[in-house]
């Protein structure tokens, strides 16, 4: 199995509802350093899993929906908290849609899975891994 | 599958028995930068896999058993060398016990697995991955 | 010259006023990974520049003033934007006050300078360096 | 499952054939920071998965075949582009041969799998994972 | 003193003339992860040292002159080896020209110095620091 | 001014005398990831500040004196605690002697300064900077 992983980042504001979050219930924010990994069993005739230029563009476009926004005002994850876990899944699901829609090129449609990791600091991160 | 990973560290002394270890048979030590990853298929109603505050506390408490100690004098891993591999498993097994015992909260009891990585330097690390 | 550097982090929300900031004029946020460096020419009788336990506590306490807050509502940097540069200076100045006040112990009062770096992502950071 | 991972690096020149590569069709080069991970279910009597000294030597020897070379002139990956994906597989396959041949010691022959990651920059990497 | 640092990267081929370089006399290549630091004593009315958007563009444009090129065929550093040290100075000197020419905006013309670090691997880097 | 920096590491045991050290008064250990930086104003005719091969060897040889040792039993820093600060100075002083003695080649004798950083974990490090 091959995996190609691209790093980008996004800066957002949000608050989290629920006593478990303590002071993070207040409006605050985060830089998420995002590792978007694309996995598949075969390379194409050029020797690549996916066109890394297209993949970089698609990751940036997906993150643009979050970029410099207060997620409390965005209708992204209806009714749910925008935790690191929830956002990792949201990014992975958007990338999966884009891959299925052909935006990653023909290689993108042969992918087996996607794993998205959001690093919220140097000491905490969350990932979501899904099949395609 | 979701994974939430927390980073902490611990500094220990130990020696390793066996010719394969060469000069590491002498009493020396290590800083282990520890990545403790908790994996599970579902988020709770708050949108989290596990209470990251509790998880941080539990990781720190587990590592406290090792912290600033000479492992040659501790009865941790009966008869075995305290290699990076053995310590990764020891940490993962302690975290598994704590999760099963409810110390990570209800989310902790729904976890599917744990992966612990000990970075012993910028060029070497060992991991142990287990189901819960 | 010796330097001892401690890493911590803080997550905040804010907006930035001025066309130069483009989309960062919107309310968004950041994780700042903070490197607080204490510099001085001499070690004390214990062989340390500063008590790292106290220094760690003081850095955390200074950052607590920012932690999980919307800086637009805080009276921190009167009339100024809370840019990464301004926040680096704000943190360095608070640490300088604490060092002068004895909160870092006697070693802290013999320090020559402080340098604070705020990493706002994996590709951008700002520092402020000052004498004591 | 245990994994032991060793980091090394190699610097090469090459060009890539195919419009998808854009300006990377020109002769250029890369530093690949290489993470070679060895996985297996059991530790030996010394408490190790694999002799890390031997593993370090074998990784260095495998990378020596690439080191400071123009891969366009090397007969490594017949007819294929030497993309990061292809090179990750090439390294993993060579390590698998060396493990099977006993060069990693008895522990090497009990390994279950190998994963090789080539970091081509701070924002892009490719991995190849295979069974043994 | 404030410093704002931006990270980018570039991939090149080259060879180095001189016995001191050993096998690096062969045509090979490198990924340089580039940290471009801009230093100055004062912030402008917006609270910034330099427009980070412009600075990011200028760093990318300067590196474009190197990007995906065989430096042996480029007339960059007449008669000199394109060592990491020489390239760090070349990048710093180009950034200094751009700052002097106003391409970083008015803040760029008030800068005091530039420091450029080229990381050639996870274990080696070279920097060049100059006044403006 | 140019700086060339090489990374290596060393694993040691030690204890620290003095109440300020709390539990670190017990015998424990550390991995120090060592950045050895050599600074100077001029490059030689080859375009290098210092022969990086020789510098790498000298750094390794200096660290060999510490490697896999219990520093409590070594006569390194007479009467002093082997704190991170003290060890950073010890390494820098040994490198300075080696540079003065010609072990870094002619370039080494034209160096202006040395800075040694010891990273004791992902959250703490100490540096010592000296002239040559």
- pLDDT over threshold 90, residue C109: no
Tokens 């800068």 -> residue: E111
Model-level pTM greater than 0.90? yes
Chains C and F touch (3+ CB pairs under 8 A): yes
Shortest distance between the Cα of F7 and any Cα of chain A, in A, equals 21
| Each residue's pLDDT tens digit, B78-100 | 889 999 999 999 999 999 999 99
pLDDT of residue A65: 98
- pLDDT over threshold 90, residue E106: no
Mean pLDDT score of chain E: 96
Tokens 């310590």 -> residue: B87
B50: tokens are 């596990």
What residue ranges in B25-110 does DSSP mark as E strands? 28-40, 69-70
How many B/D residue pairs have CB atoms within 8 Å?
59
What residue ranges in chain C does DSSP mark as E strands? 2-14, 28-40, 69-70, 113-121, 124-131
pLDDT of residue A94: 98
CB contact under 8 A, D4 and B128: no
How far is CA E129 from its chain centroid?
A: 10
Rounded Cα distance between E126 and E34, Å, is 10
Which of A49, C39, A126 shows the shortest CA–CA distance to F117?
C39
CB contact under 8 A, B47 and A83: yes
pLDDT of residue D79: 86
Q: Which of F24, F126, F129, F131 to probe by mutation at the C interface, max C CB count within 10 Å?
A: F126
CA dihedral sign of residues E5, E11, E12, E17? positive
Mean pLDDT score of chain A: 96
- Taking CA–CA distances from D122, the nearest residue in chain C reads C122
- pLDDT over threshold 90, residue E67: yes
CB contact at 8 A, E62 and C34: no
Q: Which of E5, E6, E7, E13 to probe by mutation at the D interface, max D CB count within 10 Å?
A: E13
Per-residue H/E/C for chain A: CEEEEEEEEEEEEECCCCHHHHHHHCCEEEEEEEEEEEEECCCCCCCCCCCHHHHHHHHHHHHHCCCCEEHHHCCCCCCCCCCHHHHHHHHHHHHHHHHHCCCCCHHHHCCCEEEEEEECCCCEEEEEEEEC
Rounded Cα distance between B60 and B66, Å, is 10
Q: Which residues of E touch B122 (CB under 8 A)?
A: 122-123
pLDDT of residue C106: 84
- pLDDT over threshold 90, residue C104: yes
Q: Which residues of C touch E129 (CB under 8 A)?
A: none
Rounded Cα distance between F8 and F50, Å, is 17
Question: Which chains border E (3 or more CB–CB pairs < 8 Å)?
Answer: B, C, D, F
pLDDT of residue A116: 98
- Taking CA–CA distances from F21, the nearest residue in chain B reads B68
CB contact under 8 A, F70 and B26: yes
* Mean pLDDT along residues C21-37: 98
Tokens 């959001």 -> residue: A118
Query: In chain E, what percentage of residues exceed pLDDT 70?
Result: 100
Cα separation values, C120 from A116, E40, E57, E115, Å: 20, 19, 18, 19
pLDDT of residue C131: 98
Which of C130, C118, C94 shows the shortest CA–CA distance to C9?
C118
Rounded Cα distance between E11 and B103, Å, is 49
* Mean pLDDT along residues C5-19: 98
CATH pick for F2-63+78-113+120-131 out of 1.10.357.10, 3.30.479.10, 3.40.47.10, 1.20.1250.20: 3.30.479.10
Give the H or E element holding residue F97.
helix F84-100
Shortest distance between the Cα of C50 and any Cα of chain E, in A, equals 23
CB contact under 8 A, D85 and A48: yes
> Which DSSP string do the residues of F49-79 spell out, in sequence order?
SS-HHHHHHHHHHHHHTTTTEEGGGS-SSTT
How many C/D residue pairs have CB atoms within 8 Å?
3
**Residue E42, Ramachandran bin (φ over 0: left; ψ between -120 and 50: alpha; else beta):** beta
pLDDT of residue F78: 81
pLDDT of residue E17: 97
Rounded Cα distance between E108 and F14, Å, is 49
Give mean pLDDT in consecutive 10-residue pieces for chain D, a chain of 132 residues: 98 97 98 98 96 96 98 91 98 97 89 98 98 96
Task: Say what the alpha-carbon torsion angle C44, C46, C49, C51 is, to the nearest 10 degrees.
Answer: -120
DSSP label at residue C131:
E
pLDDT of residue C39: 98
CB contact under 8 A, C88 and E48: no
* Mean pLDDT along residues C3-19: 98
Shortest distance between the Cα of C46 and any Cα of chain E, in A, equals 31
Rounded Cα distance between B100 and B103, Å, is 8
| Each residue's pLDDT tens digit, D73-98 | 998 988 899 999 999 999 999 999 99
Q: Which of D52, D105, D108 to probe by mutation at the B interface, max B CB count within 10 Å?
A: D52
pLDDT of residue B6: 98
pLDDT of residue E77: 86
Question: Which residues are C34's β-sheet partners?
Answer: C8, C118
- Taking CA–CA distances from E123, the nearest residue in chain B reads B122
- pLDDT over threshold 90, residue F108: no
The three-class DSSP label of residue C96 is helix
A62: tokens are 């997906």
| Each residue's pLDDT tens digit, C63-86 | 999 999 999 999 898 889 999 999
């Amino acid at each position: 199995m091959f995996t190609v992983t691209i790093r980008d980042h996004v800066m957002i504001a949000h608050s989290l509802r629920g006593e478990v979050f303590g002071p993070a219930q207040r409006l605050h924010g985060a830089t998420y350093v995002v590792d978007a990994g694309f996995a598949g069993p075969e390379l194409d005739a050029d020797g690549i899993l996916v066109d890394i230029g297209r993949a970089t563009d698609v990751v940036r476009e997906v993150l643009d929906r979050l970029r410099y926004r207060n997620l409390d005002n965005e209708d992204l994850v209806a009714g749910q908290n925008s935790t690191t876990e929830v956002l990792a899944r949201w990014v992975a699901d958007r990338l999966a849609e884009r891959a299925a829609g052909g935006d990653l090129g023909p290689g993108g449609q042969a992918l087996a899975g996607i794993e998205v990791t959001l690093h919220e600091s140097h000491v905490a991160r969350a990932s979501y891994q899904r099949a395609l």
